[in-house]
Chains A and B, each alone.
Chain A
Amino acid sequence: MTEYNFAYLDEQTKRMIRRAILKGLAIPGYQVPFASREMPMPYGWGTGGVQVSAAVLTPDDTFKVIDQGADDTTNAVSIRTFFQRTAGVVTTTATRDATVIQTRHRIPEEPLHEGQILVYQVPIPEPLRFLEPRESETRKMHSLEEYGLMHVKLYEDISRHGHIATSYAYPVKVEGRYVMDPSPIPKFDNPKLGDMAAIQLFGAGREQRIYALPPYTQVVSLDFEDHPFEASKANHCCGMCGATDSYLDELIIDDAGGRMFVCSDTDYCEARQAMGHKGKDAA
């Protein structure tokens, strides 16, 4: 702990990031620019999330990191170790015990409670980016609430695939005002965004944007009257714990087309197995 300031970043930087976070919380869904720092990891590995986590961590916090729902993948392990070393905080894999959870691509299955902070890693914060490449124009569209273009994307989905085929990073409207990219979480998780007890913070390091959802914010997934939003998942139950209500990963297990479905949230799956639930593929 002598080599680094607490949680790696210097105090001035954390102060700057906290100001961006507070502004983001005051204007839910609005992308606040911030002076993103170089982090000791490549862009795309969660530099935005790490900076937000560093700014909100206190020495009393319990920290959890998940990547695609799992606690034991490279990204999760390296970020967890990073804060163990630079902040000396207690880490955990249990969703309920954590006070700060940094996540990539998932919201934990277990409902979060008040006092928790969920930090998302965001690759591209601008939901309109692939439709309108000009930043000057997308900012204007946000400020004037011109969101017709977002529906053009959904229209294209239906005309090409017969249904809204966007399955992750599904655009949402926050409190009837800003259209927001919820980071690449599966649309299965979209209903959890709204009315959540925990604070949700989104950090995009390369794009230098922070946005936020305060607790109990109204979040609506965009859709058409005759093609309503549907939170979809693989139509199976977990092979390890038998859960029917969790988001599943599909694993190829041999060269003969064998596959199994398991919970992407490892903590949820393990907790259920510990309680004695067993799926059909459990050893």
Chain B
Amino acid sequence: MTPLLSVQGIAKRYGAHIGCADVSFDLYPGEVMGIVGESGSGKSTLLNCMAGHLVPDAGQVVFDTRTDGPRDTITMSEPERRMLGRTDWAFVHQHARDGLRMGVSAGGNVGERLMAVGERNYGDIRDKATDWLGRVEIDASRVDDRPTTFSGGMQQRLQIARNLVTGPRLVFMDEPTGGLDVSVQARLLDLLRGLVRDMGLSAIIVTHDLAVVRLLADRLMVMKSGRVVEAGLTDQVLDDPQHAYSQLLVSSVLQV
């Protein structure tokens, strides 16, 4: 089977400082990869390099496109990369405000990607937007309300709906549950797990919260100082960490 995303030797430096270095892995269709590590370990840099928000200094990010098969997204032209960014890829930001248009109604936010790929029928766009609000458990009556009137959890769910409406195959998530309280986190995780399984999505989730990867991720990479120190199946890494840093990370989770 061809991997959906194949990352080879990605490196990004900020001057003399290493953002991330020598990261390679394959992601297969339907698979969810978790990337964990402490703040400053290079998780977000790596994610942004893969999603095309940052240009890496070295390496390849090969994506299995629908039309042309595997292509290196770093060297493909910008229009092509941006087209991927609004069709086959989705990016869920940590702060919903970064991923939403706060001055535009919930329906408009969800419909934007549809209109960006050429939908020109108001009724259809609205129906799809309403349908997606339902799937992320937002009441259909809120379709014309602005995200500023939504709670943090609702904003995050709206951001997810907005990203998934065009049926992407790969979702990048940067701390999707950061800044939410525990019960809202649990519902969001439940929702995400359902959506990922139902739609057969592949996802790369960056987080410092081990509970999130335990629930969502099939495989796990542990990063420290810009490098991957351990990788493997989620349960394997969490239950039997080999690297000293992974052991520290796992043991530092508070038990209630």
Bound together: yes
Q: Which residues of the other chain, B, contact A151 by a CB distance below 8 angstroms?
A: 115, 120
Q: Assess the A160–B144 pair: CB atoms within 8 A.
A: yes
How many angstroms from the CA of A160 to the CA of B121 in the assembled complex?
Answer: 16
Number of interface residues of B (CB under 8 A): 24
Closest Cβ of chain A to B252, distance in Å, is 40
Indicate whether A146 sits within 8 Å of B122 (C-beta atoms), given known contacts A152-B108, A155-B108, A159-B107: no
Residue B117 at the chain A interface, CB threshold 8 Å: yes
Closest to A155 in B: B108
Name the interface residues of B83-117: CB closer than 8 Å to any CB of A: 86, 101, 104-105, 107-108, 111-113, 115-117
Total contacts A to B, CB within 8 angstroms?
Answer: 54
In chain A, what residue has the closest Cβ to B111?
A155
State which residues 198-238 of A face B: CB under 8 Å: 224-227
Partner of A152, one of B86, B104, B120, B143: B104
Binary contact track A134-172/B, C-beta < 8 Å → 1, others 0: 000000000010101101100110111000000000000
B225 to chain A, nearest CB (A): 33
Q: Determine how close the nearest CB of chain B comes to the CB of A82; give it in whole angstroms.
A: 39
Residue in contact with A159 in the complex, picked from B82, B86, B144, CB distance below 8 Å:
B144
B108 contacts A146, C-beta separation under 8 Å:
no
Q: Which residue of A lies closest to B125 (CB)?
A: A155
Q: Cβ of B78 and Cβ of A158 under 8 Å apart?
A: no
The CA of A224 and the CA of B108, in the complex, are separated in Å by 14
Query: Are A226 and B122 also in contact (CB < 8 A) when A146-B82, A152-B101, A159-B143 are?
Result: yes
Give Cα A158–Cα B82 distance, bound, in whole angstroms: 28
| B-chain residues with CB within 8 Å of residue A155 when the two chains form the complex | 107-108, 111, 115, 122, 125-126
Q: Is the CB of A152 within 8 A of B122?
A: no
Docked-complex contact B115 and A148, CB < 8 angstroms? yes
CB of B123 within 8 A of chain A? Answer: yes
18 more CB-based (< 8 A) A-B contacts, given A152-B101, A155-B111, A224-B122: A131-B101, A144-B79, A144-B82, A146-B116, A148-B86, A148-B113, A148-B115, A149-B115, A151-B115, A151-B120, A152-B104, A152-B115, A156-B104, A156-B108, A159-B126, A225-B120, A226-B121, A226-B123
Assuming the contacts A224-B121, A227-B122, asked whether A144 and B116 have C-beta atoms less than 8 A apart, the reply is no
A149 to B108: give the CA distance in the assembly, Å. Answer: 10
Report the minimum CB–CB distance from A59 to chain B (whole Å): 48
* A and B contact pairs by CB, cutoff 8 A, 30 listed: A131-B101, A146-B116, A148-B86, A148-B113, A148-B116, A148-B117, A148-B118, A149-B112, A149-B116, A151-B115, A152-B101, A152-B104, A152-B111, A152-B112, A152-B115, A155-B107, A155-B125, A156-B104, A156-B108, A158-B122, A159-B107, A159-B108, A159-B144, A160-B144, A224-B120, A225-B120, A225-B121, A225-B122, A226-B121, A227-B122
In the complex, chain B residues whose CB is within 8 Å of the CB of A156 = 104-105, 108
Q: How many A residues are at the interface, by size bracket? A: 10 to 19
Nearest-Cβ distance from residue B47 to partner chain A, whole angstroms = 21
B125–A144 contact, CB under 8 A? no
A146 to B79, CA, bound (A): 9
The CA-CA distance from A116 to B126 in the complex, in Å, is: 44
A152 CA to B113 CA in the complex, in Å? 9
Nearest first, the 6 A-B pairs at minimum CB distance are A148-B116, A151-B115, A224-B122, A148-B115, A225-B121, A144-B79
Q: How far is the CA of A144 from the CA of B115 in the complex (A)?
A: 15
Interface string of B119-149 (1 = CB under 8 A from A): 0111101100000000000000001100000
| Residue of A whose beta carbon sits closest to that of B116 | A148
Quote the shortest CB–CB distance from B125 to chain A (angstroms).
Answer: 7
| Assembled-state Cα–Cα distance A268/B109 (Å) | 44
Instruction: Give the distance in Å from the alpha carbon of A226 to the alpha carbon of B111 in the complex.
Output: 15
Shortest CB distance A133–B (Å): 10
Rounded to whole Å, the gap between the CB of A127 and the closest CB of chain B is 15
B231 to chain A, nearest CB (A): 36
Do the beta carbons of B115 and A159 come within 8 Å of each other? no
Question: Shortest beta-carbon distance, B29 to chain A, in Å?
Answer: 27
Provide the bound-state CA to CA distance between A40 and B236, in Å: 76
CB distance from A179 to the nearest CB of B (A): 13
Alpha-carbon gap, A146 to B86, bound state (A)? 11
Q: What residues of B have a CB within 8 angstroms of the CB of A149 in the complex?
A: 112, 115-116
B residues less than 8 Å from A144 (CB atoms) = 78-79, 82
